């Protein structure tokens, strides 16, 4: 049985050193050190389990462990012991991303073992797939004697000999399948499919999807699932070129709606769409819960960008608010999970107010939810300014003539600035926003989740104001509701 008393002990001894200024109120973070991709997201034995890529010793990427947290409602999380750590020849340089599945009442983790050569650590590496199992309800895990259960000899011709990772397991028609991310070594990402009867003996089933040259040079963190009568593939393409206002980050996340043919090992789809249109969203993973909902959580950060909390705060990385994925008109729609409403308090409400110029809404905060409905009139642009002080503001603005929404953080604080834009149509002249602000994050759900924009911000502690504005004319606020989230 694996227990990482060294890492868990280090966290227990050092977590009091964390600076709290930007620690989030209602989002999952690592207990100490570094966090990235969500792993092993599953509802099992009465709890939601979220594992995550974790370097417990420093707030920087390092030899990857699997952190572990559990929740009964997707909002309030409890840390459990670190699940797995790099301590075997087949995972000596990192237990990379993977997934979880229940079999015969036991919880199995399937993950990528990362192995680096002795000289060229940047280019000389390879990856294999491993299993670990828990016999005590997910508290501790034992690595399989069969590891690696998918090794380098099972990589098909034409796929990368280095990048071969992030297994996402699912069950269909009485068999287990796993999708893996890779590339062809020539600048195109691809997804590989394997099948098994017992989780230990795997057979290559096909290359189910490949980039056409516009979708990045390596595909990571695939997740394939049924929604209604369709199959959905979510994955994270690296170094994907921007397409207009979309995919403006170095690494992105996209989804395709289509059909998986497990017999011939092919996934057919018509097009692809971003999962999130903001700054900080990557490597999402999904699970089905007892209510039949498909829940999505992503890493609320972006690779190869500045993270201010790394410097002196002792931690880096967080997860997004969990979102329910719905298939509407052939496209995904994302809504915040209903459970977040249980944490609302201190309702402030304004209705039917005409707005011209800029207005202080007379409420403030750093951890809250807004539900705002605007009715367009003559204004060229209208919207909200959040976390406002004399020198700082985060701007959410809509231009009716262009049907353009923009999220600007040029004056949001000490972190990176920039702007992300997306087109969104008004519905009978109305723009509906649900905005979730936490100590260092903003998530904006537009038009009942037709699109979502996520970004990290790092304002000063005095930047708490909320303002509404209407430029060069008027708009009407049909309703403005604010709740603190506690």
Q: Is 213 buried (19+), middle (13-18) or exposed (0-12) by CB count in 10 A? A: exposed
Residues 6+ apart with CB under 8 A from 37: 52, 53, 97, 166, 221, 282, 283, 285, 299
Q: Is the CB of residue 327 less than 8 Å from the CB of residue 356?
A: no
Q: Is 133 buried (19+), middle (13-18) or exposed (0-12) by CB count in 10 A? A: middle
Q: Is 267 buried (19+), middle (13-18) or exposed (0-12) by CB count in 10 A? A: buried
- Identify the CA nearest to 212 among candidates 153, 272, 263: 272
Rounded-to-integer distance, Cα 422 and Cα 246, Å: 7
> SS3 for 11?
helix
Q: What are 407's two structure tokens? A: 């999220």
> SS3 for 336?
strand
- Identify the CA nearest to 193 among candidates 168, 213, 212: 168
Report cis status (omega within 30 of 0) of the bond before 245.
Answer: no
Catalytic center residues? 37
Rounded-to-integer distance, Cα 35 and Cα 317, Å: 5
Distance of alpha carbon 267 from its chain centroid, rounded? 23
Residue 247 per-residue DSSP state = -
Q: Is 155 buried (19+), middle (13-18) or exposed (0-12) by CB count in 10 A? A: buried
Sheet hosting strand 202-210, strand order edge to edge: 164-172, 175-183, 189-196, 202-210
Q: What are 254's two structure tokens? A: 């996209």
């Amino acid at each position: 049985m694996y227990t990482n008393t060294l890492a868990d002990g280090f966290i227990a001894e050092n977590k009091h050193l964390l600076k709290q200024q930007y620690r989030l109120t209602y989002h999952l973070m690592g207990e100490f050190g570094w966090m990235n991709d969500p792993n092993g997201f599953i509802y099992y034995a009465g709890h939601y389990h979220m594992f995550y890529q974790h370097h417990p010793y420093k707030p920087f990427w390092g030899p990857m462990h699997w952190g572990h947290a559990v929740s009964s409602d997707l909002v309030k999380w409890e840390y459990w012991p670190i699940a797995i750590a790099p301590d075997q020849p087949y995972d000596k340089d990192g237990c990379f991303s993977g997934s979880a599945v229940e079999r015969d009442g036991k919880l199995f983790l399937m993950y990528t073992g990362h192995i680096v050569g002795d000289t060229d650590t940047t280019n000389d590496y390879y990856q294999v797939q491993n299993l670990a199992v828990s016999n005590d309800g997910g508290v501790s895990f034992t690595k399989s004697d069969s590891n690696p259960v998918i090794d380098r000899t099972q990589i098909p011709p034409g796929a990368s000999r280095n990048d071969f990772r992030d297994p996402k397991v699912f069950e269909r028609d009485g068999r287990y399948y796993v999708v893996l991310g890779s590339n062809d070594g020539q600048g195109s990402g691809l997804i590989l499919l394997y099948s098994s009867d017992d989780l230990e003996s795997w057979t290559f089933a096909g290359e189910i999807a490949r980039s056409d040259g516009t979708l990045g040079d390596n595909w990571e963190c695939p997740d394939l699932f049924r929604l209604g009568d369709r199959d959905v593939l979510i994955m994270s393409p690296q170094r994907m070129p921007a397409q207009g206002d979309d995919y403006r980050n170095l690494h992105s996340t996209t989804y395709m709606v289509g059909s998986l043919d497990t017999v011939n090992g092919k996934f057919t789809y018509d097009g692809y769409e971003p999962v999130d249109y903001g700054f900080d969203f990557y490597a999402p993973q999904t699970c089905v819960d007892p209510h039949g909902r498909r829940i999505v959580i992503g890493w609320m950060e972006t690779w190869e960008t500045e993270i201010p909390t790394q410097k002196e705060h002792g931690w880096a990385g967080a997860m997004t608010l969990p979102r329910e994925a719905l298939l509407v008109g052939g496209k995904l729609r994302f809504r915040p999970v209903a459970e977040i409403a249980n944490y609302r308090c201190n309702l402030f409400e304004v209705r039917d107010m005409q707005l011209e110029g800029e207005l202080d809404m007379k409420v403030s905060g750093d951890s809250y939810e807004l539900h705002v409905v605007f009715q367009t009139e003559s204004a060229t642009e209208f919207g909200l300014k959040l976390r406002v002080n004399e020198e700082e503001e985060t701007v959410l603005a809509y231009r009716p003539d262009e049907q353009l929404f923009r999220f600007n953080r040029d004056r949001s604080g000490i972190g990176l600035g920039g702007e992300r834009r997306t087109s969104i149509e008004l519905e009978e002249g109305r723009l509906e926003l649900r905005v979730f602000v936490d100590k260092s994050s903003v998530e904006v759900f537009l038009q009942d989740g037709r699109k979502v924009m996520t970004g990290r911000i790092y304002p000063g502690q005095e930047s708490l104001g909320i303002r509404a504005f209407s430029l060069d004319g008027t708009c009407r606020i049909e309703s403005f509701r604010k709740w603190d989230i506690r």
